[in-house]
Amino acid sequence: MKDAFWVAPLAGFVGLGTFFANGGPDGFAAPDWSAVVLAVAACLALMLRRSAPALAILLVGLLVGGYFKLGHADGPIYLALLIGCGVVALATPAARWLPWSVAAVSVSLAGLWVRALGDETGWAEPLGRSIVLIALTATAASLGSLARSRAQTRREREARVSTEEQLRMAQDLHDGVGHGLAVIAMQAGVALHVLDRDPASVRTALEAIRDTSRESLEALRAELSRLSGTAPLTVRHGLADLDALAGRVRAAELAVSLHVTDQPLPEPIAQTAYLVVQEALTNVLRHARARSVEIDVAVGADGRLVTVRVADDGIGADTYDEDMGLFGMRSRVATLGGSLVVRSRPGEGFALVAEMPL
């Protein structure tokens, strides 16, 4: 029904123009109503362009061809064919509209030539009109197809942006909340293990659980604020926060050796370095069964490369699955023009190395 808003005015305009074009010698003396009916019907056939585009454009071609075959005068009925080719191309892929549009134009040209031969006007006039009609319909169809292609490209781009945003939010939630839950689970296990004989260790574990829970809730609140459309609560961490991160992991009875460069780093690189270390520690807590882990964030001697290395002494594995965490780390590092390598050594642990250019 949406098409009625433009088809109805088009039919009215074409019908009125056809009425005048096919009047008697005195304009209104003897109008040919069959011409008006054919012209209006050709326009109204465009109402089918969405549900049956092939039928719509073919009907237009048949009605226009019949109009000319009956010897009616030139007039705005050409608009029905031109606009028909354009709007059908706008609504459907080229593979669907092209053969039917060619058929419609061919039928219209056949009617045009039949009229010309009946009038004995020669071949020059219908040939010129045929060339112009073909050129105009091809232009209209090309413009419609181009507009459809651009609209489809825009929709695909919007869908891609939406998907990337969803993936980014999933990665942020995984990095923040996933790490927090892993640390909390490990610390809770430590607290239960020494509950009766080492109250001081229990207290340390509970304090670490409290701090980790608070940080995870802040990360979750920041993502929910983005989902709700309110101003985002940005939670950013850098190299200065690695001490606190290592401290929470140490409370889970995992020895952590931390070495961090004193050289200031650009904020994006510092944030990514923190997230890489955080995800690496999460994997150590969840999978490695390690007793110790070494963290090293260093700048190369030439000052052009930042290297983040996290290695543990856990069980390692012959193979490993690259889950969302590793995929997210690799994507973040690649965004900055860097690379990430994970080496698994059976019986000797995992080693993760990320390199980012300055």
E strand or H helix at 295, and its extent? strand 292-299
**Residue written as tokens 């929709």?**
155
Question: Is 138 part of a structural domain of the chain?
Answer: no
Question: Is 325 part of a structural domain of the chain?
Answer: yes
Domain count for the chain: 2
Question: Is 250 part of a structural domain of the chain?
Answer: yes
In a shared domain, residues 207 and 105: no
The model's pLDDT over 258-303, given as tens digits with 9 standing for 90+, comes to 999 888 888 888 988 988 888 888 778 776 678 888 999 998 888 7
Domain hosting 188: range is 159-357
Q: What is the full DSSP assignment across 166-194?
A: HHHHHHHHIIIIIHHHHHHHHHHHHHHHT
The pLDDT, as a whole number, for residue 323 is 60
E strand or H helix at 292, and its extent? strand 292-299
220: which DSSP letter? H
Last residue of a domain, one of 122, 149, 181: 122
The pLDDT, as a whole number, for residue 9 is 86
Residue 186: pLDDT band (50, 70, 90) is: low
The pLDDT, as a whole number, for residue 7 is 83
Residue 306: pLDDT band (50, 70, 90) is: very high
Burial 153-172 (b: 16+ CB within 10 A, else e): eeeeeeeeeeeeeeeeeebb
The pLDDT, as a whole number, for residue 229 is 58
CATH number at residue 200: 3.30.565.10
Phi-psi region of 179 (alpha: psi -120 to 50; beta: other; left: phi over 0): alpha
The pLDDT, as a whole number, for residue 172 is 65
pLDDT for residue 321 is more than 70:
no
- pTM here is 0.54
Question: Is 50 part of a structural domain of the chain?
Answer: yes
In a shared domain, residues 214 and 263: yes
Question: Is 345 part of a structural domain of the chain?
Answer: yes
More confident residue, 1 or 338: 338
Asked if residue 263 lies in contact with residue 305, where contact means CB atoms within 8 angstroms, the answer is no
247 alpha-carbon distance from chain centroid: 40
In a shared domain, residues 189 and 314: yes
48: which DSSP letter? G
The pLDDT, as a whole number, for residue 309 is 92
In a shared domain, residues 246 and 311: yes
In a shared domain, residues 183 and 298: yes
Q: How far apart are CA 5 and CA 333, in angstroms?
A: 52
In a shared domain, residues 295 and 171: yes
| Torsion angle defined by CA atoms of residues 130, 135, 140 and 141, in that order, rounded to the nearest 10 degrees | 90
The pLDDT, as a whole number, for residue 63 is 92
In a shared domain, residues 82 and 163: no
| Mean pLDDT value of segment 202-219 | 71
Last residue of a domain, one of 72, 98, 122: 122
Asked if residue 308 lies in contact with residue 273, where contact means CB atoms within 8 angstroms, the answer is yes
In a shared domain, residues 272 and 344: yes
In a shared domain, residues 109 and 31: yes
In a shared domain, residues 115 and 166: no
Mean pLDDT is lowest, of 9-23, 73-87, 233-247, 327-341, for 233-247
In a shared domain, residues 191 and 100: no
The model's pLDDT over 137-159, given as tens digits with 9 standing for 90+, comes to 889 888 988 998 898 888 888 87
Question: Is 145 part of a structural domain of the chain?
Answer: no
Report phi then psi at 339, rounded to 5: -140, 155
